[in-house]
Each structure stands twice: as C-alpha cells, then as structure tokens.
Copies of this chain bind each other. A is one copy, B any other.
Amino acid sequence: MRLTDTEWQLMNCLWEKHPATARGIAGRLPPEIKWAYTTIRTLLARLVDKGAVREYKEGNTSLYEPILTRENARKSALKTLVNQAFDGAYGPLMHFLVNDPNLTPQQRQALEEALKEQPEKRGGKENGGDNQ
C-alpha cells in the first residue's frame, strides 16, 4: 500500500488517535497545514477507497479508523525506497545511513560491525493482508 504525501499526514493523525472525525483530524494536523474541511473529507474518502481506513457512522457523523497499521505502512515505504534508490537491498541503505557524517566514530564503528552479516534482503511479505 503506497501512501501519498497528504495521505501520510492524515494517517499520522489517525494513528495518533482513533477513531476520529474529520474535524478532529483537522485539529491534530501540524499547524502549518491549513486544509479546507472538505479537502480532508476528500482525502479520507480516498483512503477509505484504498482500504487503508474504515469509516463508520455515529448518528450523522463519520468516524474514521486506520486499517493499515503504521508498521505496515512503514515497511512498505521502506521497501519502495530500497527498491528505487538502494538496489533493492537493505544492506546499501544501512551503509548509506552508517556513512552519515553526523554519526560519531564510535557509532559508525558499531554499526559497521553489525552490518558485516546484514542479510541483503528483508524477508516476509510487504503487507500480509492482516494489517489490523
């Protein structure tokens, strides 16, 4: 399951607190984001369509709840990144992270040790369907 930029924003709010109303989500968005109420509704509807979010009614009002877990969304995003930018293997990503000049030499050392046996591919399914 790929999420777009705006979908990540909403999902982050939903993972933080759910179920939530559109209005509630609006309140929990980072302050620099000022979306129209209907924008949020549109994006939520798309997430429902994709199966990432469940919608149900309480009286007249829609409540939303994540179906996709944060864990699975992260896995999936990482897998995409690794495929696009790191030859499809986690090793190169790790190496790239390890070469971050902000790491202290000790940190780098320890990480490099750990990487010596880092398996190249992460096994398992991207998203096992059971993402509750």
Contacts and interface: CB of A to CB of B under 8 A. Distances in A.
Contact of A74 (B5, B96, B117, B123): B96
Copies in the complex: 2
B107 A110 contact: no
29 contacts: A3-B84, A5-B84, A8-B85, A70-B85, A73-B85, A74-B85, A74-B86, A77-B85, A78-B81, A78-B96, A90-B97, A90-B100, A93-B97, A97-B97, A102-B122, A102-B124, A103-B114, A104-B117, A106-B114, A106-B117, A107-B114, A107-B115, A107-B117, A107-B118, A108-B114, A109-B114, A110-B110, A110-B114, A111-B111
Interface of A: 3, 5, 8, 70, 73-74, 77-78, 81, 84-86, 90, 93-94, 96-97, 100-104, 106-111, 113-115, 117-119, 122-124
